[in-house]
Structure 1
Amino acid sequence: MSTSNPQQVNIGIDDSARQKIAQSISQVLADSYTLYLMTHNFHWNVTGPHFRELHLQFEEQYTELAAAVDEIAERIRTLGYPAPGTYKQFAQLSTIDEVETIPEAFEMVRILAEANEAVVRSCRQGLPIAQDADDESSAALLSDRMRLHEKNAWLLRSLL
């Protein structure tokens, strides 16, 4: 995330806190986008006797993520900072490793469960930063994302 020349924003959160919040949310954005790409890739490439079930579940999840990354990026912009938006930036910020092969179906499920848990951890790291700054909007966003990814991880682990 570029921290130079942030917009001047007067929403009751000091500049230093806004920068820290935007940085933490940028990691959530990078993890979410990486998970989106991974989930979409697995949706396209899953095979086997559980194809239909997994194909549809992956589609539900990547569709939700497509909307979520927009909301996350817009929160960063609301804080006055540019949102990361390139593969290079996402790769630098993300805590999720890319998968360069096409795993077997249930290996995809395991990988996606772990990647959802990684998003939860990123949200959990950012939550106290937002809370300490009384940034309820960012805290609510992070809390909502945590809850969704915890549930997705559980749904995926239940298939294993």
Structure 2
Amino acid sequence: MKTNIGINEADRQAVSDQLAKLLADEFVLYTKTRNAHWNIEGPDFHSMHVFFEQQYNELDEIMDSVAERIRKIGHYAPATLTQLLQLTHLTEKLDHKNDSLGFLKELLEDHESIIEFIRGNIDPFVSKYNDAGTSDFITGLMETHEGMAWMLRSHFR
């Protein structure tokens, strides 16, 4: 059935394309946070293990909400590893030990990258694509990532 929500197909496609990139970034960040949870070592193992679990649980909810937003505007969410890896802006860095500071630094950089990507889409979603709903949605996601980044950043002096 045709999606009739007051936004033309071309605009919904453009928004969906940007959301697909965001979903890919969220998935890669989720996976990297899982990696930190699974592989953390050091004297702060337990506290960091628990901390990373809280972070990946929050990212899991974010991923689901982004995929559902794509569906709400009438498109399909990318859902294969091949698709997600083609769409993501993030990279994996394997140049640190499995210590908390290495993981924290890399995850913080990724959250900040996602924040910048989201911030760059808030206005165009409204002004260019007539989609205030998605603009509002990603504004909330940006604020969530800002909070998560703050938690990561707070581990540094």
Q: Contact 1:22/1:76 (CA < 8 Å) preserved in 2? A: yes
Aligned match of 1:142:
138
Shift in Å, 1:112 = 0.5
8 Å Cα contact 1:76/1:82 also seen in 2: yes
Greater Cα offset, 31-40 or 93-102:
93-102
The partner residue of 1:50 within 33, 44, 47 is: 44
Q: Is the counterpart of residue 26 in structure 1 residue 20 in structure 2?
A: yes
The Cα of 1:29 is off from its aligned counterpart by 0.5
Q: CA RMSD in A?
A: 1.5
Q: Give the CA deviation at 1:125.
A: 2.4
Identity %: 34
Q: Select the residue among 7, 12, 20 that pairs with 1:13.
A: 7
Distance in structure 2 (CA, Å) of the matches to 1:71 and 1:58: 20
Matched with 2:84 is 90
Q: Which runs of 4+ in 1 moved over 3 A?
A: 99-103
Deviation at 1:100, TM superposition (A): 4.5
**Partners in 2 of 1:19 and 1:27 — Cα distance?**
13
Equivalent residue, structure 1, for 2:109:
114
Unaligned regions of 5+ residues in structure 1, if any? Answer: 1-6
Corresponding position of 1:151:
147
The answer as to 2:49 corresponding to 1:66 is no
Shift of 1:104: 2.5
Aligned length: 154
Partners in 1 of 2:92 and 2:2 — Cα distance? 36
Amino acid at match of 1:53: S
